[in-house]
Structure 1
Amino acid sequence: MLRKLLPLYENSILFPTQPVLPSDQLYIFFDKSQTEWVGIPKSVVSEKELKLLKTLYEIVEYQSSTISSVSKIWYEFLFLNGPPPLYNTDAYFRIIQFYINGDGLDHSEIEAALKGFFTDDVIIIWENGNRGIVIEESKQISLSDKELISMAQTVESDFFIKISFYIGKVYPLSNQLPNNFQQEKEYFIFGKTNLLNTNIFAFERIFPAYLAYHLPKGLAHKVYQALSEVFMEDPEIFSTIKVFLENNLNASMTAKKLYIHRNTLQYRIDKFVERTGIQLKDFYGAFTVFLPVYFLSRKRKITICPKVSSITLCNMSILIVSLSM
């Protein structure tokens, strides 16, 4: 029912989770039956309409927030189409998104832990109970990808939680920044849902899989067919090539992850190259193999087996899917 209010009130917003830091300019209503929240600008709600809405829905009251005025301006800029914060015209920013699995989180303790890793002050904003962002000005950027991985491991061990990060690109402060942030937010959600072997995400890590996911069905089927028979006939090759690609074609890391000797790894790679004719030493070969590996990893159920296959081969294909999950 709350969704029906969206076209009635201009600039109203639907929230899938309760907003932690709503604008002072919004009324927040909660629909228990749908577990959804809607924010409606106070300026478009008459006194009579407010009474009616309070009768139909639960209004969420917020105590006066102690959050800094700068953080509030950033929140309204990124989430509520507000005016941009005041900085120099040549200011650039990076937004690091994070998501924490768990309930009853102490935001102040987690904020303190996160800020301890940065050399300068950063702005941390909570979108809801589990999701938030870290805003860095470009001149403050101090953490590399490896250091962010170390930060995630430390936070997880200290608080017994699971945390994921999306490392955003550096953008100039402009009216386009909220759109850039929303696009990166979409990539982050996609990565958390589809790429389960990591908790540190970035555009270059997600986009190949994102592109493959959005291929037309006909083309996706052709890509899948290209190597599916080879992989179904030899689950060991599939699991080896999958880990090899996930580790950026790094033989040492791959052998370590698979608990095998480097010579064994090279034997399996050579076997794959011999059977397919596809080299894995350059971008073109790696990307060509990545696509069918991605599709086979996502395929939960093999419904069509090759004509020459047997019950054993079909069972083997199911084994491949289980290995890829």
Structure 2
Amino acid sequence: MLKNLISLYTNSILYTEHPKHTSDQFYIFFDGSQKNWLAIPKSNLTEKELNLLQVLYEQVKIPSKPLTTLSRKWHDFLLLNGPMPSLSTDSNFRFIQFHIKGLGVDPTEIEPAIKGFFSDEVQIIWEDEHNGIVIEERRQLSLTESELTSMADTLESDFYVKISFYFGKIYPYSSHLRTHFVQEKEYFEFAKENLERTNILTFEKIFPAFVAFNLPEYMKEKIKMELSSVFSEDPELYTTIKVFLENNLNASLTAKKLYIHRNTLQYRIDKFIDKTGVQLKDFYGAFTVFLACLLFEQRK
């Protein structure tokens, strides 16, 4: 099956829907039995491998989306490990990755809408119809996290899609730019697979869950034995405690978000403390309980 080839060919992309556009640097193969399309970088295939794949699968021709010269350089650098774009060495850059979930997504309509929110010129490159990268050169302060949230809400309302952004860090122009991008891409892919949906994602929002997911099994069992079993007995308690911790132990804000009275919230918090013996207003207690919440969420 085509999906088994992803591990063999670096930077290949699997589609579950017919792609409308792709880079001319890829060969596209179609698996009729699984209804999958796989884009493999041309540079990764020898002539012999290409001939074999053409026998096993249908090779399809898909029009490539035209890129500007600079966008093409960024595309090849980030996605195909090509040479770095020649830019000012005193510039800073930020990568804002996005994922669009919905039917009939048209990049040619959404791209201008995204660019319209930025005061400076940005480059946008697409991996496929649902995933892309905004490349922002930082000459001045641009979108904050709250403004990016507003942009996501606007795009969802205008195009009837669900969209999430990974808000990358700011990096100086250097040979390490691609390494930073690849690491951020790993975090974003993890979040799409494992976290409850949210519009805006950052390193600090993802990394605790990333750590929890990669803990050794014996560590996960210890936390389950100490804390997570309480959540299994009372899932409502899990929701309450997690929202309380995510809102910096602010009782008023937590009660408002959960649509409950503050007295009800305090009752549930006291109930959790009585059952576990762990204080939430202590940093170490809050950290440990939040880790337990993340592990319980993964098990769900």
TM-score interval, normalised by the smaller of the two chains: 0.7 to 0.9
What is the number of residues matched between the two proteins? 295
CA distance in 1, matches of 2:295, 2:157: 34
**Matching residue of 1:41:** 42
CA distance in 2, matches of 1:156, 1:4: 34
**Matching residue of 1:263:** 263
- The change in CA–CA distance for 1:277 and 1:14 in structure 2 (over 3 A counts) is same
Q: Contact 2:124/2:133 (CA < 8 Å) preserved in 1? A: yes
Amino acid corresponding to residue 231 of structure 1 in structure 2: F
Q: Deviations over 1:120-162 (max 9, x none)?
A: 1111111101111111112244111111111111111111111
Q: CA deviation at 1:58?
A: 3.0
SS at match of 2:120: coil
Map 1:263-302; keep pairs closer than 5 Å. Answer: 263-300=263-300
- The change in CA–CA distance for 1:173 and 1:232 in structure 2 (over 3 A counts) is same
Map 1:93-172; keep pairs closer than 5 Å. Answer: 93-172=93-172
- The change in CA–CA distance for 1:291 and 1:50 in structure 2 (over 3 A counts) is closer
Map 1:240-251; keep pairs closer than 5 Å. Answer: 240-251=240-251
Residue 201 (1) aligns with residue 201 (2): yes
Q: Contact 1:244/1:254 (CA < 8 Å) preserved in 2? A: yes
CA distance in 2, matches of 1:28, 1:201: 31
Residue 66 (1) aligns with residue 58 (2): no
Q: Deviations over 1:199-223 (max 9, x none)?
A: 2111100111110111000011001
Q: CA deviation at 1:252?
A: 2.5
Q: Deviations over 1:88-110 (max 9, x none)?
A: 22222111111111122121221
Q: CA deviation at 1:50?
A: 6.0
CA distance in 2, matches of 1:53, 1:173: 39
Q: Contact 2:213/2:298 (CA < 8 Å) preserved in 1? A: no
SS at match of 2:87: coil
Q: Deviations over 1:14-70 (max 9, x none)?
A: 32125944244x544444445242425369755x88666545443333446432111
CA distance in 2, matches of 1:6, 1:296: 30
SS at match of 1:139: coil
CA distance in 2, matches of 1:37, 1:229: 42
Amino acid corresponding to residue 135 of structure 2 in structure 1: I
- The change in CA–CA distance for 1:12 and 1:247 in structure 2 (over 3 A counts) is closer
**Structure 1 portions without partners, runs of 5+:** 301-325
Q: Contact 1:6/1:13 (CA < 8 Å) preserved in 2? A: no
**Structure 2 portions without partners, runs of 5+:** none
Q: Contact 1:14/1:36 (CA < 8 Å) preserved in 2? A: no
Q: Contact 1:105/1:129 (CA < 8 Å) preserved in 2? A: yes
Who wins on radius of gyration, i.e. which is larger?
A: 1
Q: Say what the alpha-carbon RMSD is for the aligned residues.
A: 2.8
Q: Deviations over 1:246-266 (max 9, x none)?
A: 333332321112111223323
Question: Comparing 236-245 with 74-83, which one deviates more in the overlay?
Answer: 236-245
SS at match of 2:153: helix
Q: Deviations over 1:190-249 (max 9, x none)?
A: 212222152211110011111011100001100111123443454443331022123333
Q: CA deviation at 1:185?
A: 1.4
Q: Contact 1:23/1:76 (CA < 8 Å) preserved in 2? A: no
Q: Structure 2 length normalisation: TM-score?
A: 0.86
Q: CA deviation at 1:291?
A: 1.6
Q: CA deviation at 1:281?
A: 2.5
- The change in CA–CA distance for 1:44 and 1:50 in structure 2 (over 3 A counts) is closer
**Matching residue of 1:217:** 217
Q: Contact 1:29/1:37 (CA < 8 Å) preserved in 2? A: yes
CA distance in 2, matches of 1:240, 1:177: 40
Q: Structure 1 length normalisation: TM-score?
A: 0.80
Map 1:285-324; keep pairs closer than 5 Å. Answer: 285-300=285-300
Map 1:23-42; keep pairs closer than 5 Å. Answer: 23-24=24-25, 26-33=26-33, 35-41=36-42
Identity of aligned residues (%): 55
**Matching residue of 1:76:** 76
CA distance in 1, matches of 2:55, 2:147: 51
- The change in CA–CA distance for 1:130 and 1:140 in structure 2 (over 3 A counts) is farther
Q: Contact 2:74/2:84 (CA < 8 Å) preserved in 1? A: yes
